[in-house]
Amino acid sequence: MVVEIISVGTEILLGNIVNTNAAYLAEKCAGLGLSCYYQDVVGDNGERLMQVIRTALSRADVLLLSGGLGPTQDDLTKETAAAAIGRGLYLHEQSKQAIAEFFRQRGMEITDNNWKQAMVPEGCIVLENPNGTAPGIIMEDNGRHLILMPGPPNELVPMFENAVIPYLNTLQPGIIYSQTVKICGIGESKVEHMIEDLINTQSNPTIATYAKTGEVHLRVTARADEEKEAKKLVKPFVKELKTRFGNHIYTTQEEVTLEKAVVDLLLANHLTVSTVESCTGGMLAARLINVSGVSEVFKTGYITYSNKSKRKLLGIKKASLEKHGAVSAEIAKQMAKGASVFTKADVTVGITGIAGPEGGSEEKPVGLVYIACSVCGRVNVKECHFSGSRMKIRESSVSSALSLMRESILAYYSEVTFGAKKS
Amino acid sequence: MVVEIISVGTEILLGNIVNTNAAYLAEKCAGLGLSCYYQDVVGDNGERLMQVIRTALSRADVLLLSGGLGPTQDDLTKETAAAAIGRGLYLHEQSKQAIAEFFRQRGMEITDNNWKQAMVPEGCIVLENPNGTAPGIIMEDNGRHLILMPGPPNELVPMFENAVIPYLNTLQPGIIYSQTVKICGIGESKVEHMIEDLINTQSNPTIATYAKTGEVHLRVTARADEEKEAKKLVKPFVKELKTRFGNHIYTTQEEVTLEKAVVDLLLANHLTVSTVESCTGGMLAARLINVSGVSEVFKTGYITYSNKSKRKLLGIKKASLEKHGAVSAEIAKQMAKGASVFTKADVTVGITGIAGPEGGSEEKPVGLVYIACSVCGRVNVKECHFSGSRMKIRESSVSSALSLMRESILAYYSEVTFGAKKS
């Protein structure tokens, strides 16, 4: 089945916002086994929107439209999509009540134009929107499916997950089941090489590779008549991936991030953590602290960008800094050890590196980063060479630090190290 | 003149990457006074790409294509675009040499398929690509302009800035000149209200509003026969905006970020800075440290997520935490003051808040954040109420902290406060 993704909004055409909805929907559709050949962006203009919808109807089975469902006169998606297949609109009592309730709960006054959002096309399926006032709409016409969703990602994503995916699954023979395997600590090309045989011989399930900063996500997708059967197809593949990648797999759950996996590992082992950052300047702590519930494990973060603060806060000796240089395996180690002494955390991490664009030398080029992780006194140090912009080098450093934390904690408990050099 | 942005790449259709090129090109085109009514994404498929190009040729004057210029058989943009207007390809000797030189400099071996990248359409303009091996291409046909650029942003952006913008300027009567005015510390709707009269009566120059987290950017764009004249049209508008927004304007330079403006202000006044963060967990320090050269001003960052670390690192009294609660104006103030005492920095910032999704109460809801900034002992505290996800609340907090730092430093030197409540 072929899907076309149509994003409606003048703000996208003007470059005011990046079209993350299209990327989200595209990734989800690929996971659902739907083919997508075109994405379109069009402004809040009835005539041009109509042209895009008509073209899409001529070449796709499913149209996923987002945006243009707001209360203003500019918002034309519903009216235009309905007109494209000859439908009128009527006041949907349930949506009217939901809108009234949405405003009541927030103590906000309803303006007259809000009722426009309760008008829906004849014979459509209305999708609830608990996070906003624009309901979603599904229309069916001559084997074509027009699905209209609100533009704000915090409204679109839950609606797509909760209502649209189940609907799309009813359109396809059998069902699609996919599982994500998230890998850290191995580069993309190595991961691809390690599964080349699986990819070359794939049919059902399929494996798709998604490279992220410092991570690779694999998605195993199977199609079958029933969910049970599809799961049975996926299972041996995931098992094979587990055999091949071992502890480098940090989760097989879609919603678990690398920082969440690290925090969960800390929680499970009753470990506390402190961080000491130089070039990353707080980004590692910030990622850990983005995990709700981190307060039980996170003790203290230090940002010791200057040599002076490294000495003062962590007791690192001036002679040591002069001998090894601030960017060195030894100083990374001392940063992690200093944090253990001063904060008494079980796990401590030190990051020191040259993020550029200035500050590099032949011996220590931009992108050289040392990361040390101490687990109950046992320290692992990793030397990394990253490339890209200052921000990219810092993001790569943080991902590597999270990987090293995982490796170090697992190694501490299993007495098996992998990848990281023992100090 | 009407432009259409066509992004070529199966990786976009699969959602592997977010289409940031389209957003970049769209914003630039808006700034150049070009109208954009459609953006398209299509995969590396000759037939479908041809359909998109033909449709775009029927409704736009300029086609901006990116991607699909690589060396593999999958890369079809050049061949398809040339075929669309009946052009053949030939080997461009200069591009061949540039490619050879690119590989030589990097000590890499050339494979035969790389020469495909030196093939260009008959009668085209070839654009150099110092950052990659795919040259850019401009073709003119019957008043239509097809502009082909490589997909990687680090190749596309410099090529667009250095070669495509000057070309586009030759197509339009006169020239386009625009200046950006960046505002912090005032919300989007207030900014829009304050310039409503200017927007309602605008013709040449025009004013466009871009809302960012905690910031609003205004772009004033004028068209004239000569640059001097266009600048003369823009100048009084920028002056008027300066009168209306005063110190809330932190820069009129496109490339200056809010954190850069703050670091520049610190440097200019020979001030050092330290940060103490709770809910933002290092994000403020991380943004400051993304400014190259920050080492001259940044002393120390503390991440005191727990009450214990607030007490231990900053000497905040247990009784004080119990009396006011960790999320309070008083504790934010004590965090900033504690940092002054312990790090001796001239400017110190304390942030404490409830980022959610858990931890809120009726009295102190999710989104409540207190930010304190001390400049040489004089402390300003700001109470903020943010909404959105945990990450969004934290990002808003960091932007507000940067604004407060600017306000506090300026106020200290001018004895004029604006917006922030003096403590």
Q: What is the pLDDT of residues B45-84, one digit of tens each?
A: 999 999 999 999 999 999 999 999 988 888 899 999 999 9
**B256 contacts: CB under 8 Å, gap ≥ 6:** B182, B250, B264
Distance from CA of B106 to the nearest CA of A (A): 14
Percent of chain B with pLDDT over 70: 98
Task: Indicate if the pLDDT at residue B421 is higher than 80.
Answer: no
H or E segment and range at residue A340? helix A329-343
Distance from CA of A360 to the nearest CA of B (A): 12
Distance from CA of B178 to the nearest CA of A (A): 15
Q: Pick the closest to residue A301 from A350, A337, A359 (CA basis).
A: A350
Tell me which chain B residues have a C-beta less than 8 angstroms from the C-beta of A277: 282, 301
Distance from CA of A13 to the nearest CA of B (A): 6
Q: Check CB contact under 8 Å for A292 and B356.
A: yes
Radius of gyration of chain B (CA): 26
Per-residue confidence (pLDDT) for residue A71, from 0 to 100 = 85
Q: Distance between terminal CA atoms of chain B?
A: 54
Q: B258-422 belongs to which homologous superfamily?
A: CinA-like (3.90.950.20)
Mean pLDDT of chain B: 92
Distance from CA of B306 to the nearest CA of A (A): 6
For residue A110, name the pLDDT band (cuts at 50, 70, 90).
confident
For residue B177, name the pLDDT band (cuts at 50, 70, 90).
confident
Task: Indicate if the pLDDT at residue B235 is higher than 60.
Answer: yes
Per-residue confidence (pLDDT) for residue B420, from 0 to 100 = 46
Least confident of A332-336, B403-407, B418-422: B418-422
pLDDT tens per residue, range A378-409: 999 999 998 878 888 999 999 999 999 999 99
- Strand B347-353's sheet: what is its strand order? A421-422, A378-385, A368-375, A347-353, A273-277, A298-303, B298-303, B273-277, B347-353, B368-375, B378-385, B421-422
Burial of A350 (0-12, 13-18, 19+ CB in 10 A): buried
Instruction: Take residue B21 and report the two structure tokens written for it.
Output: 């090129």
Q: Give the separation between CA B291 and CA B159, rounded to whole angstroms.
A: 25
Q: Give the separation between CA A219 and CA A212, rounded to whole angstroms.
A: 13
Distance from CA of B416 to the nearest CA of A (A): 32
Q: Give the separation between CA A22 and CA A7, rounded to whole angstroms.
A: 7
Compare all CA atoms of chain A with the CA of B36 and give the residue at the minimum distance.
Answer: A13
Per-residue confidence (pLDDT) for residue A67, from 0 to 100 = 95
Using DSSP, state whether B107 is helix, strand or coil: coil
Tokens 């939901």 -> residue: A98
Tell me which chain B residues have a C-beta less than 8 angstroms from the C-beta of A211: 16
Per-residue confidence (pLDDT) for residue A17, from 0 to 100 = 85
Least confident of A73-77, A245-249, B23-27, B418-422: B418-422
Least confident of A109-113, A280-284, A371-375, B196-200: A109-113
Distance from CA of A35 to the nearest CA of B (A): 9
Q: Check CB contact under 8 Å for B39 and A43.
A: no
With 0.90 as the threshold, say if the pTM is over it. no
What mean pLDDT is predicted for residues A173-182?
Answer: 88
Q: Give the separation between CA B169 and CA A279, rounded to whole angstroms.
A: 41
Pick from A28, A42, A301: CB nearest B282: A301
Task: Indicate if the pLDDT at residue B146 is higher than 90.
Answer: yes
pLDDT tens per residue, range A1-39: 999 999 999 889 988 889 999 999 999 998 888 999 999
For residue A422, name the pLDDT band (cuts at 50, 70, 90).
very low
Q: Check CB contact under 8 Å for A37 and B28.
A: no
Q: Are strands B125-127 and B136-141 parallel, antiparallel or unpaired?
A: antiparallel
Q: Check CB contact under 8 Å for B23 and A19.
A: yes
H or E segment and range at residue A406? helix A390-414
Tell me which chain B residues have a C-beta less than 8 angstroms from the C-beta of A37: 13, 42-43, 45, 48
How many other C-beta atoms can be found within 10 angstroms of the C-beta atom of residue A50? 17
Tell me which chain B residues have a C-beta less than 8 angstroms from the C-beta of A206: none
Q: Check CB contact under 8 Å for A18 and B16.
A: no
Per-residue confidence (pLDDT) for residue B415, from 0 to 100 = 67
Q: Give the separation between CA B266 and CA B297, rounded to whole angstroms.
A: 7
pLDDT tens per residue, range A279-288: 999 999 999 9
Question: What are φ and ψ of residue A367, in 5° steps?
Answer: 105, -10
CB A347 within 8 A of CB A374: yes
Selected residue with higher pLDDT from B177 and B106? B177
Contacts 24+ apart (CB under 8 A), B211-215: B211/A16, B213/B392, B213/B395, B213/B396, B213/B399, B214/B184, B214/B258, B214/B395, B214/B396, B214/B398, B214/B399, B214/B400, B214/B402, B214/B403, B215/B182, B215/B183, B215/B184, B215/B258, B215/B399
Q: Give the separation between CA A149 and CA A153, rounded to whole angstroms.
A: 10
Task: Indicate if the pLDDT at residue B274 is higher than 80.
Answer: yes
Q: Check CB contact under 8 Å for A14 and B36.
A: yes
What mean pLDDT is predicted for residues B23-44?
Answer: 93
Q: Give the separation between CA B136 and CA A166, rounded to whole angstroms.
A: 44
What mean pLDDT is predicted for residues B146-171?
Answer: 94
Q: Residues, chain B, total?
A: 423
Name the range with the highest mean pLDDT among B3-12, B109-118, B200-209. Answer: B3-12
| CATH 3.40.980.10-classified regions of chain A | 2-171
**Is ipTM over 0.85?**
no
- DSSP class of residue B43 equals -
Mean pLDDT of chain A: 92
Selected residue with higher pLDDT from A160 and A154? A160
CATH number of A2-171: 3.40.980.10
H or E segment and range at residue B98? helix B93-105
Per-residue confidence (pLDDT) for residue A423, from 0 to 100 = 42
**B292 contacts: CB under 8 Å, gap ≥ 6:** A356, A357, A358, A390
Q: Give the separation between CA A248 and CA B225, rounded to whole angstroms.
A: 61
Task: Indicate if the pLDDT at residue B333 is higher than 50.
Answer: yes
Q: Check CB contact under 8 Å for B286 and A283.
A: yes
Q: Check CB contact under 8 Å for B303 and A285.
A: yes
User: CA-based diameter of chain B, in Å?
Assistant: 81
- Strand B175-184's sheet: what is its strand order? B206-212, B215-224, B175-184, B249-251
Pick from B24, B41, B394: CB nearest A38: B41
Per-residue confidence (pLDDT) for residue B389, from 0 to 100 = 83
CB A276 within 8 A of CB A326: no
Q: Pick the closest to residue B52 from B60, B44, B40, B61 (CA basis).
A: B40
Strands (DSSP E) contained in A269-397 are 273-277, 298-303, 347-353, 368-375, 378-385
Identify from B7, B14, B391 which residue to disrupt to test chain A contact, counting A C-beta atoms within 10 A and taking the largest count. B14
How many other C-beta atoms can be found within 10 angstroms of the C-beta atom of residue B247? 16
Instruction: Take residue A369 and report the two structure tokens written for it.
Output: 């980063």
Domain covering A175-251, topology: Alpha-Beta Plaits (3.30.70)
Q: Check CB contact under 8 Å for B13 and A39.
A: yes
Task: Indicate if the pLDDT at residue A275 is higher than 70.
Answer: yes
- DSSP class of residue B115 equals G
Q: Check CB contact under 8 Å for A12 and B23.
A: yes
Question: What are φ and ψ of residue A268, in 5° steps?
Answer: -65, -30
Task: Indicate if the pLDDT at residue A70 is higher than 90.
Answer: no
CB B260 within 8 A of CB B291: yes
Contacts 24+ apart (CB under 8 A), A133-136: A133/A71, A133/A98, A133/A99, A133/A102, A133/A103, A134/A69, A134/A70, A134/A71, A135/A92, A135/A95, A135/A98, A136/A163, A136/A164
How many other C-beta atoms can be found within 10 angstroms of the C-beta atom of residue B403? 26
What mean pLDDT is predicted for residues A344-350?
Answer: 97
Pick from B13, B22, B299: CB nearest A26: B13
Tell me if the bond preceding B357 is cis, omega within 30° of 0: yes
| CATH 3.90.950.20-classified regions of chain B | 258-422
Tokens 């909760």 -> residue: A162
Strands (DSSP E) contained in B51-101 are 62-66, 89-91
Q: Check CB contact under 8 Å for A48 and B30.
A: no
CB B371 within 8 A of CB B351: yes
Q: Residues, chain A, total?
A: 423
| CATH 3.30.70.2860-classified regions of chain B | 175-251
What mean pLDDT is predicted for residues B220-234?
Answer: 92
